Structure 1
Amino acid sequence: MAHPTLPGVRPDAAGLRVTDVSWSVDGNLIIDGVDVAVRPGTLTGLLGPNGSGKSTLLRAVAGTTRPDRGTVALGGEDLRSMRRRERARRVAVVEQEVSTDVPLRVLDVVLLGRTPYPASDSDDDIALGALQTVGVPGLAERDWHTLSGGERQRVHLARALAQQPELLLLDEPTNHLDIHAQLDLMSNVLELGLTSLAALHDLNLAAAHCHQVVVLDHGRVAATGAPEDVLVPTLIRDVFRVDCDVHPHPRTGRPVLTFSPL
């Protein structure tokens, strides 16, 4: 089956390795001994039912949650041992749509990505370049509140790129977007050539765009590998509690999943 074209890996791309990461609340394990490896410049989809630990694992990688045990290394360096500012220069997070009541220009939103760095005359150029990279340079002077959901997610992605990171983390970035905006955003992420880990609900989006998927179930890794090897009817039934048929996409050969209740 055809895979997404491997992007032109950026020279600063670094591999991510999560080893034996666990985190609990009041004695209840939320993630339990999770191992994940993401090759430099590739996109890995983090899948699983609600409550499986996807967002918690992303927070552990980002450093906003401190695991009880385990290591998170980027390019062989322990992210947990880094100072917060240094980690923010290397890791950027795109969350589900974030709203604000503060009146801001789009350019001001993107400039928030420069926060980990000393103020510089080049900040505006970097922010404008990030908007260019995600395909919306014309939005720079627009009021944030006038943007559509798809435009806002592109701006959030531009803000993350303004951090000039080595690792991009995305937490359900396509929620609340229409189909066109979903496909556009995922294609844009692929083209960046960054090492990327994305928590996704939509299994078909993951199958169409990810080089690798990791499926979590009750905080543990149920399976990991290429989408066509992992997203098979037996696993979908066991983890997601639905019947599933898998067909090759007529244009790309990538897996297309259709679901039925048990």
Structure 2
Amino acid sequence: MATRADLVRGRPRRLADLAGRVAGRRAFIVGNGPSLAAMDLAPLAGEITFAFNGAWRLRESLVPTIHMVEDRLVAEEEAAHLAALDPATLLVLPTDHADVSPPAPGRLHVPVDWSYYDPLRPPREPGFTTNAAAGRLHAGQSVAYLALQVAFVMGCDPVVLLGIDLDYRLPASARVAGPVVTSTAADPNHFDPAYFGPGRRWHLPKTDRMLVAFRRAARVYAEHGRRLVNATPGGRLTGVPRLAYTAATADRPRPARRQRQATSAQAPTA
């Protein structure tokens, strides 16, 4: 069974270094939506998992395989926490943010095509990297879209979405300056009210564009004979086949740590 160590073996320096690392393994892409607050993440132990942005707040229940950040504001405001991630987690960021989180062991900076965010002539839908030789990822209005491409490149199948509620609302108390929102109260859009709490800055999400991106990802997975499913309870994500969380975690692998402990317990004493 592939482990987290297999992903960081050789300190990957480019996207191609992750190609096929966990081919055929199930992966979970764990968003930060409010639905996550009511979920038991214990069944994810031993799985390949992706988490994002301020998901370090889940450290008591989830140590992700890969932690990703796309948004520049998030990279800046979470820099200290990103630097303190569990050593077992691989941090993946756009090369554009290397000045915020410089290259270091356990970090991988990947070029990103931002054309989907072009304010004048954006494409109808974002590109999707299926071949690591391309060397870059395509932004799709959600950091989870980057993760879907990384999971594809690594060979993951199936890939399960969790906590992707796609249900944002702008608090009346928030201050808005162009695309930047500054919170002045508790955050209603994430699993933790302090996630984007008072004083935190964030970009106003475009859920219609996010929906287009997730549907594109589902289509690409299906065209390549792989499964992408949504196990988020509720939410507004459509166009991605749904699967109950209990079914998505059925026949889960045993955590590697417990396996080692069990082996040690059975070993004969000298």
TM-score normalised to the size of structure 2? Answer: 0.28
User: Which structure exhibits the higher relative contact order, with contacts defined as CA atoms closer than 8 Å and separated by 6 or more residues?
Assistant: 1
In proportion to residue count, which structure has more strand? 1
